[in-house]
Amino acid sequence: MHSQPRQDYISINFAGQGSGNYNNGKQWRRQSCWRKWKQLSRLQRSLILVLLFICGIASYPAVTEHLRGLTDGDQDTDANNYLRPVIPHVLPEPVKQGQLPLPEQTSQRKLSNKRGPPVLHNRLQKKGNASDPVVEENAANGKKGEEEGVISWHGAVIDTEQGTEGTKDGEIKEDSPANQKDKPTNESEGNWLEAVQQAFRHAWKGYKDFAWGHDELRPLSKSYSEWFGLGLTLIDALDTMWILGLKEEFEEARTWVATELTFNKNVDVNLFESTIRILGGLLSTYHLTGDTLFLDKAKDIGSRLMPAFNTPSKIPYSDVNIGKGTAHPPRWTSDSTVAEVTSIQLEFRELSRLTEEPQYQAAVAEVMKQVHKLDGKLDGLVPMFINTNNGQFTHQGIYTLGARADSYYEYLLKQWIQGGKKEIQLLEDYLQAIEGVKKNLLQKSSPNGLTFVGELSHGQFSPKMDHLVCFLPGTLALGAHHGLPADHMELAKQLMETCYQMYVQMETGLSPEIVHFNMHQGSNRDIDVKLADRHNLLRPETVESLFYLYRFTKDHKYQEWGWEILRNFNKYTKVPSGGYTSINNVRDPDYPSPRDKMESFFLGETLKYLYLLFSDDHNLISLDQYVFNTEAHPLPIWPSTA
């Protein structure tokens, strides 16, 4: 019954706290502060006001800086970002799989990578052998699946200039628009030829950017290697540029020959290599252009090579110092290689014809005369070495159509053609040798019966065949075209098929340097490749033979085979920054293991023969008017004087 005052108390307190606690409290504090302020003396109040004023001035910059920081977050360091309020518009968009990051986003991501464990960071860069410059370049180009941490060799073949689209692992898709664009049909010869021009330009770009005036491009390290120090690639490529119609590139190279090339140098050069590449290249360029600059240079190098023939036997030494005029055999032997001393004749004979100075032709004819008479041949097949002191074959009993003997056979036929088919002894030696091949070296593989040319060592047959032997189908076909037995052409076709199989049966579609054929019944594959033989040096022999076979048969399958080979060179050996590289392993399409070297014959021969193979203009270096030296430099067949 006396509950009212209690009720009031409760009511006042409850209402005061429940409905307006904060405001009431604030009001209360305000009133209390004011009471205290009024209790201070005038002096105390003045001091407090002055102190507050000074503090306000001192804290002003920090406050403004802080406020600025809230709006300019994108200019701050990565670490500070973590401490700052997130302002949504300055954060990068998350990068989606397969999408190329914008440059700004890339830098943001790089910063965030640094925060991760260093081991992971390194692994990301090293996976797929990122120490290869090619791979690094792809990573830098943003072409690879960086998000996945996978960087594979395939990326090296993406030609950024062509704007081709890479697949996830960097391979050019079979059906990608870019691939279709330059995928020729038989009806569109133009595209086939353009593809070779493009390949040449790409190779030339690398040479020009990183190796100009030097012997060979090292496309991965973006540098060069010197062999003779004579601009070997540039000279080897001169007539290719002319034939491919690359005038601008040719003019630049011509200027270098006119202003920079000198043979007055204290360097040792290999007689054979400098004859077929330099003398041959200069002579053919002279013939194609009529420009006497090249003839003058040819005379200069030709005369400087002559000391090589000053030997007791007149069989030349392998090396000449073109500055000093001295010559010598290799340090470890007084032997020369048979193929080397018998594959310089086309060039020196032509030099004599042009200069009307007989000493060049006389020197190389003497070599042929001696080799013709020598004991130690087997049914026209020659051993691999010849002694420069006594002029006899050495290391006898080994017979091959591959390294060290190959172009002996080629030059027997080609000298006969060059001289107007009059030098019967050359022809006889050639015909006898081909019979010797058939009798001693020709076999068929199992299970598919591929015809191949093996080797003989002291009576023992070895089913080993160098890629170098693939010059033979072309040479046999050339002989048949010039009237030699029709069965030479049949053999040429069979061997051509075998050389093609040496490409298609490899995982990269590129041939190894050496293959071994199976001959045992029941073997399930025709071709084996030893680990040490799996490299491909961008060699020309197979496309060279395809060119001859197509010229003489008009069978388009040879062009198609050549096209496949060019595509695989593009796929596995093309380096994005320019140039092509030889590779170590034709059996590993994921990592063919680049060697970092573009041999001069890739421009001098391989691309030239591909272009001629794809051309249906059979007057473009007519095989009735020209004969190619062993480095693909066309020299004229001599006009008949009879």
Please check whether residue 539 is in contact with residue 586, taking contact to mean a CB–CB distance below 8 angstroms.
Answer: no
Strands 442-444 and 385-387, sheet pairing: unpaired
For ligand DMJ, which is the closer residue by CB, 335 or 605? Answer: 605
Query: Buried b / exposed e across 284-311, counting CB within 10 Å, b at 16+?
Result: bbbbbbeeeebbebbbbbbbbbbbbbeb
The conformation of residue 172, written as its DSSP 8-state character, comes to B
Q: Which member of 466, 513, 526, 599 is catalytic?
A: 513
The conformation of residue 74, written as its DSSP 8-state character, comes to G
Residues of this chain, 401-420, that bind ligand DMJ according to CB under 6 A: 407
For ligand DMJ, which is the closer residue by CB, 130 or 477? Answer: 477
Q: How far apart are CA 410 and CA 416, in angstroms?
A: 10
Cis preceding-peptide flag for 447 (omega within 30 of 0): yes
Give the x-and-dash track for 444-473 against ligand DMJ (CB under 6 A).
------------------------x-----
* Shortest reach from residue 232's CB to ligand DMJ, in Å: 10
For residue 373, the SS3 value is helix
For ligand DMJ, which is the closer residue by CB, 153 or 601? Answer: 601
User: Which residue has the CB atom at the shortest distance from ligand DMJ?
Assistant: 630
For ligand DMJ, which is the closer residue by CB, 101 or 402? Answer: 402
* Shortest reach from residue 605's CB to ligand DMJ, in Å: 6
Q: Which of 385, 387, 341 is nearest to 365 (CA)?
A: 341
* Shortest reach from residue 468's CB to ligand DMJ, in Å: 6
# binding residues, ligand DMJ (CB under 6 A): 8
**Residue 406 is among the residues annotated as catalytic for this protein:** yes
Give the x-and-dash track for 613-642 against ligand DMJ (CB under 6 A).
-----------------xx-----------
The answer to the question of residue 440 lying near ligand DMJ (CB under 6 A) is no
Q: Which member of 171, 406, 429, 596 is catalytic?
A: 406
Residues of this chain, 481-540, that bind ligand DMJ according to CB under 6 A: 539-540
* Shortest reach from residue 100's CB to ligand DMJ, in Å: 40
- Strand residue runs (E) in 134-183: none
Among 601, 602, 609, 626, binds ligand DMJ (CB under 6 A): 601
Give Cβ neighbours of residue 299 (< 8 Å, ≥ 6 apart): 351, 355
For ligand DMJ, which is the closer residue by CB, 407 or 568? Answer: 407
Cβ neighbours, 10 Å, residue 157: 24
**Residue 410 is among the residues annotated as catalytic for this protein:** no
Q: Which member of 215, 239, 526, 541 is catalytic?
A: 541
* Shortest reach from residue 539's CB to ligand DMJ, in Å: 4
Give the x-and-dash track for 174-213 against ligand DMJ (CB under 6 A).
----------------------------------------
**Residue 273 is among the residues annotated as catalytic for this protein:** yes
* Shortest reach from residue 457's CB to ligand DMJ, in Å: 22
**Residue 147 is among the residues annotated as catalytic for this protein:** no
* Shortest reach from residue 404's CB to ligand DMJ, in Å: 10
For ligand DMJ, which is the closer residue by CB, 227 or 591? Answer: 227
Cβ neighbours, 10 Å, residue 252: 15
| Side chain identity, residue 631 | E
To 5 degrees, how large is the angle CA 390–CA 396–CA 397? 165
For ligand DMJ, which is the closer residue by CB, 508 or 545? Answer: 545
Q: Which member of 268, 273, 528, 588 is catalytic?
A: 273
To 5 degrees, how large is the angle CA 410–CA 415–CA 417? 100
For ligand DMJ, which is the closer residue by CB, 344 or 492? Answer: 344
* Shortest reach from residue 231's CB to ligand DMJ, in Å: 16
The three-state (H, E, C) secondary structure of 403-462, written as one string: CCCHHHHHHHHHHHHHCCCCCHHHHHHHHHHHHHHHHHCEEECCCCCCEEECEEECCEEE
Beta bridge partner(s), residue 461: 456
Q: Which of 361, 544, 511, 523 is nearest to 449 (CA)?
A: 523
Please check whether residue 547 is in contact with residue 474, taking contact to mean a CB–CB distance below 8 angstroms.
Answer: yes
Residues at the contact surface with ligand DMJ, assessed by CB under 6 A: 407, 468, 539-540, 601, 605, 630-631
Catalytic residue numbers, as ranges: 273, 406, 513, 541
